[in-house]
Each structure stands twice: as C-alpha cells, then as structure tokens.
Amino acid sequence: MSLKNSSVKIKIPKLLQKKLNNKKIKKIYKRFERSTNINESFGVAVSGGPDSLALVFLAKIYALKKGLKAFFFIVDHKLRSESTQEALKVKDILKKNYINAEILTWRGKKPIKNIQSIARKKRYELLSQRCKKIGINYIFLGHHQNDLFENFFIRFLRGSGLKGLISLGKINRINNLNILRPLLNEKKKDLIFISNFIFNFYVKDPTNYDEKFQRIRVRKLLEQLENDGLNNKKFAKTIKNLRYSDDVIEHYVRKNLLKNSFFSKKKRQIIVNDKFFNQPNEVIFRSFSDSIKKVGNNYYRPRGKKIERIIHEINKGTFSKATLGGCIIEKVSQTVIISKEG
C-alpha cells in the first residue's frame, strides 16, 4: 500500500460538504485545522462515542482538503456482549458517509480488575501495531476539554506531581507512535452536536454512567462544580500555565540526561554519573524515571514511591542494587547502571 500523499485537494463529497456548511461545525473545523497542522498520512481511533465520531468527520474533511490519506480504526474490546454489533454498526454508518473503517479486535482473556486502565493500554497496543504495519506515524484521539479536566482531578486525588496533573497533552509519544489530541480545547456538548448532526447516531457506553469507576465519580463532581460556578476558561488557563512551568522543568531534565548519562543501545543500558543526582528533586526524579522507562521499554513510568525510595538510598549512600520497571539498577563505584532485566 502506497502512503504517498497527493498534496492535491480532493473534492469533498456533496453530502459531507453540505454538513460542513453548518455555521457551528464550520467554526469548530477551522479550530481543528489550526490545531492539527500535519502533512502526512494519519490514523484515527474510533470508539463510536460522540467525541470520536465528531473527530472522524473533522479528520475526514481535513484529509480531503489537504490531500492526505486517513485510516480509521474501530477498536472492539469485547468487554460487553454487544460490543461487536456496535462496532459493525459504526462501520456501516461511517461507510454511508464515504468513510471506510477497519475493526481492530482485542482477543483473549479479559481483566476482572482495573478494567478501564488495562483496556486503554490494550487499545494503544492494537492501534500502534496496526499503524506500524501500515507505516503511519500519527494517530488522532478524541479527548476533549472535559477529559482534560477529569484527568487533572483524578491525578490530583492520586497525589500526582505537576507532570501527572497535566499528563493529558495535545501530543505525546506512546509505543513509537505520535498521539495527537486535536480536540482538547473543545467542549463535549459541541462534539455531541456534531455527532448527532452528521451521523444522527453515537454509541452510549453504559460504563460512562457506572459510578464504581473513579472517572465517572469525578465527572459527576465536575458537573456539580460547574453548576456552582466553576469557570472552564479559567480552569483551562490554569492548566496551560502549569504546562509552561512543566516546560521549564523538562528543559533541565533534558540537560541532565545529556550531560550526566550515557545510553548504550547495544547493551540496552544507561550509565549515570554522580552529578546526575546533584540536581533539584523534580529534575532527578524525572530524569531517573525516564531512564528506567527507556531501558525497560515500558508503556508507563514506574510508580513514584519506588523511584523516590531508590533515589533517597542513592543520595544517602546506602543503595546497592534493585529491580524496577523491568530493569536492574545497580551502584558501581561513582556511577549507577540501569540495565534491561533478563
């Protein structure tokens, strides 16, 4: 399959153009276009919910206007008996709107605990594997402003640091795939409007109303706070300002890694010198956790408490050896060596 983009605008089907002419949708699309700004083939993750279906439409228009190839992936987790039928229905509705989609299926045993977290990880695995096979570097996800706020509160309740509070960013990299979230500044109600207007349909996942999940309880809390006067614009500005602070810390993390560590690709190990640990606490913590994540080739960073304990022992001079995140961490003379376990 050739992924060469024509860089020539493709005529938008009349049905889609007519729907794009809606004043509200056109305004949202203009923001989407400015936010996206890529010029190569990309994938789009489709759950069938209103946010992902709104994303599908906006991404399809973007691809046609830019002369790019877009691939649409419906993930069937098979966590509910009706999920396969829903996936087929979504595929059929998209086809009627000139959008061809492929269903990716999660096969095998399903978890009993931490269902949402494990399902999210599996979804990223399926998407990254398919994108790698096709040869594309970007995948679009439908996270929106409400998700941004929910993520902030969930991380706040967990006692996360600055990095965790703002972890849902516009772009990040997972499994060597660029994750792009072009709808982070859009409100969920506007995406519901697009989904209804364009497709007159979206999947209603019952887990989105089940308060046994923390995210749903946080969602209810945010709704109450909004009723009590929570200003979404100011909230979004606060998160934006926190990102600026995070950028400063990341600058010094990169500097520390560059100056005070050496990565051997052949041996799959990182060697850090004593100056690596002579930095502000947050810089040490991020530098060390990033090193473990890189060597271990992990999806997530290791748990914060375990990293803090090892750093504390290194600084006290009592550390000798430990395993964490699929890595062996060992003190050798004036250096610490992080090696791939096994």
Say which CATH number the domain at 254 has: 1.20.59
% of residues, the chain, pLDDT over 90: 68
**In a shared domain, residues 212 and 273:** no
* Rounded-to-integer distance, Cα 185 and Cα 16, Å: 23
In a domain, 221, yes or no: yes
User: Has residue 2 got a pLDDT over 50?
Assistant: no
Question: Binning pLDDT at 50, 70 and 90, where does residue 330 land?
Answer: very high
**What's the confidence (pLDDT) of residue 295?**
93
* Rounded-to-integer distance, Cα 288 and Cα 302, Å: 10
**In a shared domain, residues 131 and 211:** yes
From residue 95, how far is each of 1, 44, 57, 75, 98 by CA, in Å?
Answer: 20, 15, 12, 16, 5
The number of folded domains in the chain is: 2
> Which of 198, 230, 262 represents a domain boundary (last residue)?
230
**What's the confidence (pLDDT) of residue 212?**
80
User: Has residue 240 got a pLDDT over 50?
Assistant: yes
In a domain, 290, yes or no: yes
Q: How many helices (H) and strands (E) does the chain have?
A: 12, 11
At 82-98, the pLDDT tens digits run: 889 999 999 999 999 99
**In a shared domain, residues 31 and 118:** yes
What mean pLDDT is predicted for residues 305-316? 94
Question: Binning pLDDT at 50, 70 and 90, where does residue 1 land?
Answer: very low
Residue 277 DSSP code: G
> Which of 230, 254, 280 represents a domain boundary (last residue)?
230
Sign for the pseudo-dihedral over CA of 261, 173, 175, 143: positive
Residues 6+ apart with CB under 8 A from 75: 45, 46, 47, 87, 103, 104, 106, 123, 126, 127
Specify the higher pLDDT residue, 96 or 230: 96
Question: Binning pLDDT at 50, 70 and 90, where does residue 8 land?
Answer: low
User: Which residue segment(s) compose the domain that 51 sits in?
Assistant: 14-230
What mean pLDDT is predicted for residues 293-321? 88
The first and second tokens of residue 36, run together, are 């996206």
**In a shared domain, residues 154 and 51:** yes
Question: Binning pLDDT at 50, 70 and 90, where does residue 6 land?
Answer: low
* Rounded-to-integer distance, Cα 55 and Cα 184, Å: 11
**What's the confidence (pLDDT) of residue 4?**
53
**In a shared domain, residues 222 and 292:** no
Instruction: Supply the Cα-derived Rg of the chain in whole angstroms.
Output: 22
**In a shared domain, residues 193 and 245:** no
Assign 65 to helix, strand or coil.
Answer: helix
Pairing mode, if any, of strands 269-272 and 261-264? antiparallel
Question: Binning pLDDT at 50, 70 and 90, where does residue 5 land?
Answer: low
**In a shared domain, residues 198 and 240:** no
Question: Binning pLDDT at 50, 70 and 90, where does residue 107 land?
Answer: confident
At 22-70, the pLDDT tens digits run: 999 999 999 999 999 899 999 999 999 999 999 999 999 999 999 999 9
At 122-180, the pLDDT tens digits run: 888 899 999 999 999 999 999 999 999 999 999 999 888 898 899 888 888 887 889 99
**In a shared domain, residues 71 and 200:** yes
**In a shared domain, residues 90 and 168:** yes
Residues 6+ apart with CB under 8 A from 93: 199, 201
In a domain, 6, yes or no: no
**In a shared domain, residues 186 and 243:** no
**What's the confidence (pLDDT) of residue 26?**
96
The enclosing H or E element of 73 equals strand 70-76
Question: Binning pLDDT at 50, 70 and 90, where does residue 9 land?
Answer: low
Residues facing 71 on adjacent strands: 43
**In a shared domain, residues 226 and 240:** no
Sign for the pseudo-dihedral over CA of 124, 232, 59, 204: positive
| 267-276 CB burial, b ≥16 within 10 A, e <16 | ebbbbbeeeb
Half-sphere exposure of 26 (CA within 13 A, CB side): 7
Specify the higher pLDDT residue, 230 or 67: 67
* Rounded-to-integer distance, Cα 182 and Cα 142, Å: 7
